[in-house]
Every structure is written in C-alpha cells, then in structure tokens.
C-alpha cells in the first residue's frame, strides 16, 4: 500500500534559520508529489507540486522541494524562515496513473508542525 | 473564482445523533473528495466523486457514513448514528482536469 512518511512531527526554528522537512513515500509507480501548508486558522493551501520534468520545484513564499526518485524522497526546503512560516506542513502523493480527468486520492504524511520564533 | 466552501465550520453533537456536512466545490470541478483528520493523525481519504458517481469509496470507515452528490454539484456527508471516534476535521477538496486538489476550510466535528 502507498504510504508517506514525514520525519519530524514538530520543528522549532529561529527566524532566518534554514529549513528542511523530510518526506519519503512508498509507491512503485510514477507519482505526483505535493506539499500543502495549513497556517493557523486557515485551510490547506498548495505550496508546491511535482508532476514531471525538473526535479527541483519552486513554490510560493520562497519554498522549494527536490524530488529524488532513487531515494523516494521529496524534501521541502527554505533558506531563511520567517515568523509567518509558522504552520503545519503536509507532504502528499498521488498515483499519476489515474485517468487525467478522474484524479485519484491523495495519500498524506502525518504532518510537520513548524514553529518559528521571532 | 470562489473556493471550496464547507458548512458548518464546527458541529458538536451527542453520540447517537445524526450530522450532515456539506461541501460546495469550485464551479466546474467534476472531481470532489472527502478526507478526514482524526486527533492529530494524518489526513485520510474517505471517498471520491466524479460528477455524481462514486469513483472510489474505499476510505469510508463503515456504513454509518453516507455521501451523496446529487446533480454533480454540491456534496453531503451524513454520519448516522455518530460515535465518539467520528470526531475530527472533515475536509472537502475539488479538482478539475489533472491532479491538483483545492481544499475547503474543513468542518470540525465533535461527538460527545
């Protein structure tokens, strides 16, 4: 069965520190990969996605993620975090073999809560 | 464009009662999904509609949960009778062509 593992449940950083959140997935086929973010009191928002092509993808707010197929990983990075990055971050995977117009279910990791101290 | 909306935002009911959650997807999105997050655990898939048809309902926990999407527009998720373990946040998402899903704000269900 497909699964997604996020390495850290809670990360605490000071402003300007660098961030890397780990994400590994288990699935034998081709996948689409996502990072979602939920800021306090807000709904889940897409941070970035990987479908194909350049394995280094850039998202909103200075975030980026690198897809390493050999390691089944899709780690999220940001060189310098801000207090406003305090949120919960979710890695998710979907099988890209789903029919184009019929989508498929997202498999989520457990989530990583990021607290940034001002 | 308007995003995915869900109603109510919060519901508190007693064990044994019935609750109906509603989701309005983004206009024109044929795909509609229900997910649930229980007690800080991972967000888990419940089911997927394509228009009014259930494409995948493999995540529905048991027959106390009934989802409908009449006319292929909004969807409802009814829990009857509710149990304590049904407490959690219920998310709805919608998608057009492709695999990018847009999430609603969620409904927090508390069963006492």
- A50 and B CB contact within 8 Å: no
Over chain A, what is the mean pLDDT? 91
Question: Which contiguous run of DSSP H or E holds residue A107?
Answer: strand A107-108
Q: Grade residue A75 by pLDDT with cuts at 50, 70 and 90.
A: very high
Contact A96, A30 (CB under 8 A): yes
Residue A99's domain comprises 3-117
In this prediction, residue B53 carries a pLDDT of: 93
Max Cα distance, chain B (Å): 40
The pLDDT of A7-13, averaged and rounded, is 94
Chain-chain contact of B56 with A94 (C-beta, under 8 angstroms): no
Contact A111, A10 (CB under 8 A): no
Q: Grade residue B8 by pLDDT with cuts at 50, 70 and 90.
A: very high
Q: How many CB atoms lie within 10 A of CB B39?
A: 8
Chain-chain contact of B35 with A104 (C-beta, under 8 angstroms): no
Q: Which residue of A has its CA nearest to B49?
A: A102
Considering only CA atoms, which of B106, B102, B107, B105 is closest in space to residue B28? B102
Chain-chain contact of A36 with B45 (C-beta, under 8 angstroms): no
Contact A77, A19 (CB under 8 A): yes
Q: What is the CATH code for B5-98?
A: 2.60.40.10
Using the structure block, give the residue that is written with the tokens 């590994």.
Answer: A24
Q: Which CATH number fits the domain that encloses residue A63?
A: 2.60.40.10
Q: Which of B7, B58, B88, B99 to mutate to test the interface with A (most CBs of A within 10 A)?
A: B99
Q: Give per-residue pLDDT as tens, B56-109.
A: 999 999 999 999 998 889 999 999 999 999 999 999 999 988 778 999 999 999
In this prediction, residue A96 carries a pLDDT of: 65
Q: Give per-residue pLDDT as tens, A12-36.
A: 999 999 999 999 999 877 889 999 9
Considering only CA atoms, which of A109, A25, A6, A93 is closest in space to residue B41? A109
Vertex A39 angle, CA A36 and A44, to 5°: 40
Distance between CA atoms of A28 and A11, rounded to whole angstroms? 30
- In angstroms, what separates the C-alpha of A96 from chain B's closest C-alpha? 8
Distance between CA atoms of A66 and A56, rounded to whole angstroms? 4
Domain boundaries, chain B: 5-98
- A105 and B CB contact within 8 Å: yes
Considering only CA atoms, which of A29, A3, A99, A57 is closest in space to residue B99? A99
**Chain A contacts in chain B segment 90-109 (CB below 8 A):** 91, 93, 95, 97-106
Q: Grade residue B39 by pLDDT with cuts at 50, 70 and 90.
A: confident
In this prediction, residue B2 carries a pLDDT of: 80
Contact B44, B35 (CB under 8 A): yes
- B57 and A CB contact within 8 Å: no
Chain-chain contact of A100 with B30 (C-beta, under 8 angstroms): no
Structure token pair of residue B105: 């704000």
- In angstroms, what separates the C-alpha of B9 from chain A's closest C-alpha? 11
Inform me whether the pLDDT recorded for A100 exceeds 50: no
Chain-chain contact of B106 with A43 (C-beta, under 8 angstroms): yes
In this prediction, residue B10 carries a pLDDT of: 97
Q: How many domains does chain A have?
A: 1
For residue A46, which residues of chain B lie inside 8 Å, CB to CB? 100, 102
Q: Give per-residue pLDDT as tens, A40-53.
A: 989 999 999 998 89
């Amino acid at each position: 069965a497909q699964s997604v593992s996020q390495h850290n449940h809670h990360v605490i950083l000071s402003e300007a520190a660098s961030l890397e959140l780990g994400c590994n997935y288990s699935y034998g086929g081709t996948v689409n990969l996502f990072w979602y973010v939920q800021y306090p009191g807000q709904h889940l928002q897409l941070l970035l996605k990987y479908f194909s092509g350049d394995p280094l993808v850039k998202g909103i707010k200075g975030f980026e993620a690198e897809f390493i197929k050999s390691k089944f990983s899709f780690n999220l990075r940001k060189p310098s975090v801000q207090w406003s990055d305090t949120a919960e971050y979710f890695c998710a995977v979907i099988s890209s073999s789903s029919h184009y117009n019929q989508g498929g279910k997202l498999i989520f990791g457990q989530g990583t809560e990021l607290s940034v101290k001002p | 464009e308007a995003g995915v909306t869900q109603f109510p935002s919060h519901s508190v009911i007693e064990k044994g009662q019935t609750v109906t959650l509603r989701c309005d997807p983004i206009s024109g999105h044929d795909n509609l999904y229900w997910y649930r997050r229980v007690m800080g655990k991972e967000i888990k898939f419940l089911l997927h509609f394509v228009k009014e048809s259930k494409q995948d309902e493999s995540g529905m926990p048991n027959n106390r949960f009934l989802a409908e999407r009449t006319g292929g527009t909004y969807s409802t998720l009814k829990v009857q009778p509710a149990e304590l373990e049904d407490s959690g946040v219920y998310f709805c998402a919608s998608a057009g062509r492709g695999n990018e899903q847009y999430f609603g704000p969620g409904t927090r269900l508390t069963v006492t």
